[in-house]
A and B are shown apart, each in its own frame.
Chain A
């Protein structure tokens, strides 16, 4: 099936550890995005990538890092510098920027 796959669905991390969230798409989309959602809130943009080997910071990039070495993959690393990492993380892709975006099922990260 075509779509966007995020893994894992649930992730637990100890304070001080880095953790990487996976996002893969087989839609041949150029643009990919990472969002963070806190309980009862809307989505906030962490990073986005318009094309392979390029990415830009969003509104809340501090404490996060990304890479875009392949068109189909856009992993997000939550570093120990992120003060409040517990949240729901959503990955999205679109054919290009400013076109219809589609979302994965999300990863719930909990710091224990």
Chain B
């Protein structure tokens, strides 16, 4: 089945720094989602991005479907950005396959 790999597994940054998180997938997909899981466990939708680039405030995402990867950019990091970032893609049965996540810690 399809494999999803996220990197880096952990990232520690100072407040104000920029970061890039990567999601690689092993097969072609027709959609991809990025989520932020906050320290209380809530999964928050960030982007639904099958291809191209989307921006929402300090966050943006780019998916290059032909090369099987997606990038999540966080600019001017804030402590509230801390948490775990997941990407997920559907398999042939349309069920979401999840990466292991990138744990981001933003220090004040």
Residues of A bordering B, CB below 8 Å: 33, 37, 41-43, 45, 48, 58, 88, 90, 92, 97-103, 105-106, 108
Residue numbers in B under 8 Å from A33 (CB-CB): 96
A-contact 0/1 string along B86-97, CB 8 Å cutoff: 101010001110
Number of CB contacts from chain A to chain B under 8 A: 48
Q: Are B31 and A98 neighbours in the complex by a CB distance under 8 Å?
A: yes
> How far is it, in angstroms, between the C-alpha of A106 and the C-alpha of B35 when the chains are bound?
15
> How far is it, in angstroms, between the C-alpha of A90 and the C-alpha of B43 when the chains are bound?
9
Q: Which residue of A lies closest to B43 (CB)?
A: A103
Q: Are B95 and A103 neighbours in the complex by a CB distance under 8 Å?
A: no
Q: Are A106 and B41 neighbours in the complex by a CB distance under 8 Å?
A: yes
Q: Are A108 and B41 neighbours in the complex by a CB distance under 8 Å?
A: yes
The 6 closest A-B pairs by CB, nearest first: A98-B94, A97-B94, A103-B43, A100-B48, A42-B98, A106-B41
Please pick, from B43, B45, B98, B99, the residue contacting A100 in the complex, using a CB distance under 8 A: B45
Residue numbers in A under 8 Å from B94 (CB-CB): 97-98
Quote the shortest CB–CB distance from B87 to chain A (angstroms).
Answer: 10
Q: Are A88 and B41 neighbours in the complex by a CB distance under 8 Å?
A: yes
Residue numbers in A under 8 Å from B30 (CB-CB): 98
A-B contact pairs, 7 of them (CB 8 A): A42-B101, A43-B88, A90-B43, A97-B95, A101-B45, A101-B88, A103-B43
Q: Is B66 an interface residue (CB 8 A)?
A: no
